Amino acid sequence: MTDVLGGVQRATVPVKLLTATGIILLLFIVLPLVLGEFQTALMAKLLLFGILGISLDLVWGFTGILSFAHGVFFTLGGYAMAYYLKLNLSSTANTYGGELPDFMVWNGLKELPWFIAPLKFFPIAAIATIAVPAAFAYIIGWFIFRSKVSGVYITIITLAIASALTTFFISQQAFTGGTNGITDVSRLSFFGIDIPLLGLYYIILGFATLILFGSWLLTQSNFGLILRSIKENEQRISYLGYDVASFKIFIWTLSAGMAGLAGGLFVPLNRFISPVYLAVAFGTQVVIWVAIGGRGTLIGPIIAAILLGQVQNYAERVTQDWQLIVGILLLVVVLFVPDGLMSLIPKKFNLTNARSNQ
């Protein structure tokens, strides 16, 4: 069991959990070797959606902040990487044979805007992929949490942010590509060598593993205990002398950076990004993944994203009304498994209950 020394909780090594996780990781490593190209690309995309789900789980499942804005953070990171790939498209591959992106030419721009030009360099674009959504989240989070806004009002604010930014990005066609977004970007390459789909898959799998493991360490620490305490009784934690707003701002900002990273990896995989991922509909999908997988479980959102993604893929082949099938599945889970799919798994395999020595 957990040892308590000097007020610090020390988690013992969860042997069975680590063994099960290792087997699952090995399975994901082998999968692309037996799957076709389409399924490999789909699985890579669903892993990215799983990362996005984890980022929301940290703020909703552990801290009790329901947000519909994580699609916004995902898209901001995606646009940062999309600008890099678009600006590094060769002149011969560009629509007009020049360095200026086609959507800027269509809208009469003569030169690259100063705030986009630095994204031509990979180190800056890579940093911006995480820093831009994190900075945006920090700014809005500071105003929200320092103003002591809570409960449903935070949810309403995130809905408004998603709606407002969707409208803004669509209206700024000369800079964002409008409704179409940024398409036909170059392939991600290092030292002049294009990274194939298999390479992208393993890069995404590596980041997904690191984020899952890092999030687990965070939630098993005393910091994670405080987050759960804020969710259960924010007022009591405040009375104990903790600066609740600072904890909320930190986890909010961290989760936005994680979501931005997922968006940045999404672009070289699918080779486009558009305002559709800013919209409330996509933000709602992220909420559904966390709810169906299980709030506060970390791995649950990944399982739900993969499961629902595969269900959608096969349902689309059978009927045009695939959304009805997915909706029925969601209804069944919500009615009969209200705590999410992870509640069906013994607690000793739950990432958030792995404090004891198995």
pLDDT at residue 231, as a whole number: 92
Encode burial over 28-41: b for 16+ CB neighbours within 10 A, e otherwise: beeebeeeeeeebb
Domains within the chain, CATH numbers bracketed: 3-353 (1.10.3470)
Q: What is the pLDDT of residue 357?
A: 38
Report CA-CA distances (Å) from 270 to 51, 203, 266.
16, 14, 6
Q: Are strands 189-190 and 193-194 parallel, antiparallel or unpaired?
A: antiparallel
Strands 3-5 and 182-183: unpaired
Residue 352, pLDDT score? 56
133 neighbors 254 (Cβ within 8 angstroms): no
- Residue 119: what pLDDT? 95
Residue 135 has a pLDDT of 98
Q: Report which residue type is found at 96.
A: Y
Contact 277, 48 (CB under 8 A): no
Which pLDDT belongs to residue 348? Answer: 55
Tokens describing residue 42 = 């789909």
Q: Coil, strand, or helix at residue 297?
A: coil
Query: Which of 273, 264, 282 is CA-nearest to residue 71?
Result: 282
Q: What is the mean pLDDT of each run of 10 residues along the chain (358 residues)?
A: 40 65 88 90 96 96 94 97 89 66 87 92 96 97 91 93 96 93 90 89 95 94 93 89 94 97 96 94 93 91 92 80 77 84 70 47
Return the residue matching tokens 């674009």: 125
The pLDDT of residue 355 is 46
How far CA 194 is from CA of 128, 187, 199, in Å, comes to: 22, 6, 9
Q: What's the pLDDT at 358?
A: 40
3-class SS letters over 121-187: CHHHHHHHHHHHHHHHHHHHHHHHHHCCCCCHHHHHHHHHHHHHHHHHHHHCHHHHCHHHCEECCCC
